[in-house]
Chain A
C-alpha cells in the first residue's frame, strides 16, 4: 500500500479514540484535512525502492546497557504523589476502571 492513500474522517475518529483525545466534530474535520495534506506531501517516499533497506530505529546502537546490580535510592514517594492530581494512602487515586459500562 502506498503512503498516498487518502485519510478519511472515519479514520480520524478511530485514531482519536486510540490516542485518547476527545476531539470535537470541528476538530475532526480540521484534522482530517490537515493530515490528508501532509500525507499527500509524504507520498514522495513512495518513489524510493526500499525493499533491500534495513530499517534504522536509532542512530547510535548500544547493546546490553546494564548497570551494577546494586540498590540505589529512587524518588521520594511522598514528593512524587504530591504532584499527582489525586492520591490516597500512598497511591495514585483514579476514577473507576472496572464495573462500568464501556
Chain B
C-alpha cells in the first residue's frame, strides 16, 4: 500500500504564485492538510500537527500580499520541522519520553529565518530518539512508515521529515544529519536531501546529538527547492560559535550552470556492500553526467571504510556528554528519589530508549579513564585521515558520486535486533560528516520492489555550488 504523492507544484512555484497573488497561501495549505487528514494515520510522519497555527500563518501571508508587502522567498510554502528543532512555546520532544511535554523558551535560528521568509509550519516530524537511528523505529512514539510502501521504513533518523515531503503533507521539510540522517531517508523516500558543510546552517536551537557532526538541511521535491531553502536558512549566526562567518553564494544561481567540464570522481576503493540495484543506478548516474558533458575520473579515498568505526566512537562520545543535561532537573521527565544521584539514574533509565542508552554507554566507555586513547583518541586520528584523503581526492575531482544507502528501504524489524547491521546503513554517508563536507542525495530512479534509489553527490568544504550543479544535472537527466 502506498501513500506517496506526486507534487503538483514545487516550493519555488508555490512561493512565486503566492507572492504574485495568483495563489492563496490558505488554499495551498488546505491541500496539504487534506492529505494529512487522509493519510497521516497510516504514515505517522508527525509528532505534532499544527493545523490552527498553520492556518493563521497562511492567512497572514495572504494578508501581507493583499497589503502590497512581500512575505518573503518562501511565501506560503508548507513546511515540516524535525522535532529536534526548538519552537517557542510548542512541544519539542526529540521523540523521547525524557522531553515529552517540554515547550522550549526560544526558537531555533532556522525556525526564525523560515518564518521571516513566509514559510508556513504544518507540524513537527517524528525521528529516531535524539536522532540516533537509521529507520525511525527508535521513536518513543512509534515508527514512521515509508509512503512508497507502508510495510517498509522511511530511513532515519529524519524519517518523519522525509516521509512528510514524499506523502505531500508538506512541500519542504528540515532534518538534521549527523551521520546520514537527512541523506539516507531522502534516498529511501525518493526525495532530495542535503547535508550542508559543517557551519553552513546555524545549529542554535537544534537539540545537540554530536556537536562536531550535526548539521541542519532540507528535504525537498526538487534540487531548486533545496537551493531556495538553503539560501534562506544558511549564513552566519552569532548565536552559533561554529557558524561560518564568510558570505555564501546563492545556490539558486549555481544550478542554472551545466556540468560541462566538471570532473566527477568515482571512488575506486569504495567499500562494497551495496545491493546490485543500487550499484546499477549509480552507474546510470555516472553515464548521465558524462552525457551532460562531465568528465569521470578515478580517485581513491583509502580511509573511507574506517569511517564507520571512527563515527561510532566519536558520535556516541559527544552524545554521552551532550545528553548529560537530561537529569530531571531543568526540563522534561523526573523520576523522584531520595537523593540527586539516584534521581539522575532512575530518570535517565526511564526516559531514554534502548538505542540512546546503548550509545551513551558506548560513548562513556570510549571516553573513560584508561580507554580514552585507545578509542576516542584513535578515532579522532582516523577522522583526520579521512578528511586528508578527501582533500587529496578533491584535487582531481570537483564532486564525488556514491550510493546514498546500500539498499532500498527495508522492512520493519529487519535490523532492530542487530545494532551493527543498522549502523551499516550509513556506510556511505558517515565519512562526509567526519570531514565536515557537504553531501546530498538525489532521487535517481527505482530498484527492488519499485522502491526509490538515491545517488549521493559529495563535494569539499563549501563546495555547495558545485554539488548543486551536479545534482541539478542528475535531476534533468531523470526528467528526460
Chain A residues near B (Cβ < 8 Å): 1-3, 5, 7, 11-12, 14-16, 18-23, 27, 31, 34-35, 37-38, 41-42, 44-45, 48, 50, 53-60, 62, 65, 67, 75-76, 79-80, 83-86, 92, 94-97, 100, 102
B378 at the interface (CB under 8 A from A): yes
Q: How many residues of B contact A (CB 8 A)?
A: 76
> Which B residues lie within 8 Å of A18 (CB)?
364, 368
Using A83-B330, A95-B337, A95-B340 as known contacts, say yes or no to A55 and B368 having CB atoms under 8 A apart.
Answer: no
> For the complex, what is the distance from the CA of A7 to the CA of B361, rounded to whole Å?
12
> Which A residues lie within 8 Å of B312 (CB)?
38, 42
A56–B420 touching, CB < 8 Å: no
A45–B309 touching, CB < 8 Å: yes
Residue of B nearest to A99 (CB): B339
Residue of B nearest to A58 (CB): B212
B247 at the interface (CB under 8 A from A): no
Write the nearest CB–CB distance from B335 to chain A, whole angstroms: 9
> Which A residues lie within 8 Å of B340 (CB)?
94-97
Contact partner, B361, options A22, A35, A79, A97, Cβ 8 Å: A35
Residue of A nearest to B198 (CB): A59
> For the complex, what is the distance from the CA of A83 to the CA of B479, rounded to whole Å?
50
Using A85-B328, A85-B334 as known contacts, say yes or no to A60 and B419 having CB atoms under 8 A apart.
Answer: no
Write the nearest CB–CB distance from B228 to chain A, whole angstroms: 24
> For the complex, what is the distance from the CA of A102 to the CA of B330, rounded to whole Å?
23
B436–A1 touching, CB < 8 Å: no
> For the complex, what is the distance from the CA of A11 to the CA of B375, rounded to whole Å?
15
Write the nearest CB–CB distance from A18 to chain B, whole angstroms: 5
> Which A residues lie within 8 Å of B381 (CB)?
48, 50, 53-56
Residue of A nearest to B424 (CB): A41
A94–B343 touching, CB < 8 Å: yes
> For the complex, what is the distance from the CA of A83 to the CA of B336, rounded to whole Å?
16
Using A19-B360, A67-B238 as known contacts, say yes or no to A37 and B105 having CB atoms under 8 A apart.
Answer: no
Write the nearest CB–CB distance from B321 to chain A, whole angstroms: 10
> Which B residues lie within 8 Å of A44 (CB)?
305-306, 309
> For the complex, what is the distance from the CA of A78 to the CA of B117, rounded to whole Å?
30
> For the complex, what is the distance from the CA of A14 to the CA of B365, rounded to whole Å?
9
25 contacts between A and B (CB under 8 A): A7-B365, A16-B361, A18-B368, A21-B352, A21-B357, A22-B342, A34-B419, A35-B365, A37-B420, A44-B306, A45-B306, A45-B310, A50-B378, A55-B380, A60-B199, A60-B242, A62-B242, A62-B244, A62-B245, A83-B103, A95-B336, A95-B338, A95-B343, A97-B339, A97-B340
Write the nearest CB–CB distance from A81 to chain B, whole angstroms: 9
Contact partner, B420, options A3, A41, A45, A75, Cβ 8 Å: A41
B337–A55 touching, CB < 8 Å: no
A57–B306 touching, CB < 8 Å: no
B361–A21 touching, CB < 8 Å: yes
Write the nearest CB–CB distance from B426 to chain A, whole angstroms: 14
Contact partner, B242, options A27, A58, A100, Cβ 8 Å: A58
> For the complex, what is the distance from the CA of A14 to the CA of B370, rounded to whole Å?
13
